[in-house]
Amino acid sequence: MSDLLERLRNRGWRLTAQRRVVAQVLDGDHIHYTADEIHARAVEMLPEISRATVYNTLGELVSLGEVIEVSTDGRAKRYDPNAHHAHQHLVCQSCGTIRDVHPTGDPLASLPDGERYGFTLSGVEVTFRGLCPACAQVQ
C-alpha cells in the first residue's frame, strides 16, 4: 500500500494524514466497505477526519483508477481496492457482503454482434447473487 501512496505522490498528490488513513483502511481487510464504513474506521485512527474528505479521497482514487466503485444495489456504493486485477463480484443478497471472484472465459465475448446495437463496448460487469453461508443458515 505504501506503493499506492508512492504512485499517488508521483502523480502530484499532496500526502496528508487523512489520505494516508483512507489508504490504510482500504488496504486492511479485503472486504469492500461503504464510504461511511471507511469513514468510521478512519475516525478511529484520526478522530477529526470529516466525511467530506473521505468521499473526496475515494472519488479521487476511483478517477485515478486505483480503486473500483461497486454499486451492487440501490444501497451505498462500496469500494474495491483490487483495481489492478480483472475480477467480478459475488454478493450476498441478505447482508450485502461482496467477494471478488474470477469466472472463466471472457464475458464480453458472450454478446453476439447482432445484439450490440451499434454500441462501442468498453467493459462488462458480472455480478453473481446468492446467500453467503452465514445468512443461508439463518433463513
Partner DNA sequence: CGTTGACTTAGACAAGGTCTAATGTAGGGT
Partner DNA sequence: ACCCTACATTAGACCTTGTCTAAGTCAACG
Q: Does 74 bind a second copy (CB under 8 A)?
A: yes
CA gap 8, 26 in Å, rounded: 15
Positive/negative CA dihedral, 2, 71, 97, 129:
negative
Tell me the number of residues near a second copy by CB under 8 A: 41
Residue 77 CB, nearest distance to DNA (Å)?
3
Q: To which residue does cell 451499434 refer?
A: 118
| Residue closer to DNA (CB basis): 52 or 109 | 52
Q: How far apart, in whole angstroms, are the C-alpha atoms of residue 58 and residue 79?
A: 8
Q: Are 108 and 69 in contact (CB under 8 A)?
A: no
Residue with smaller CB distance to DNA, 10 or 139: 10
CA 88 from centroid of its chain's CA atoms: 11
Q: How many residues bind DNA (CB under 7 A)?
A: 27
What's 114's DSSP letter? G
**Binding positions for DNA, 1-30, rule CB under 7 A:** 9, 12-19
Q: Can you tell me which of 6, 36, 44, 125 binds a second copy, judged by CB under 8 A?
A: 125
Residues that bind a second copy (CB under 8 A): 69, 71-74, 76-77, 90, 92-93, 99, 101-105, 107-108, 110-112, 115-133, 136
Residues that bind DNA (CB under 7 A): 9, 12-19, 34-36, 46, 48-53, 55-57, 59, 74-77
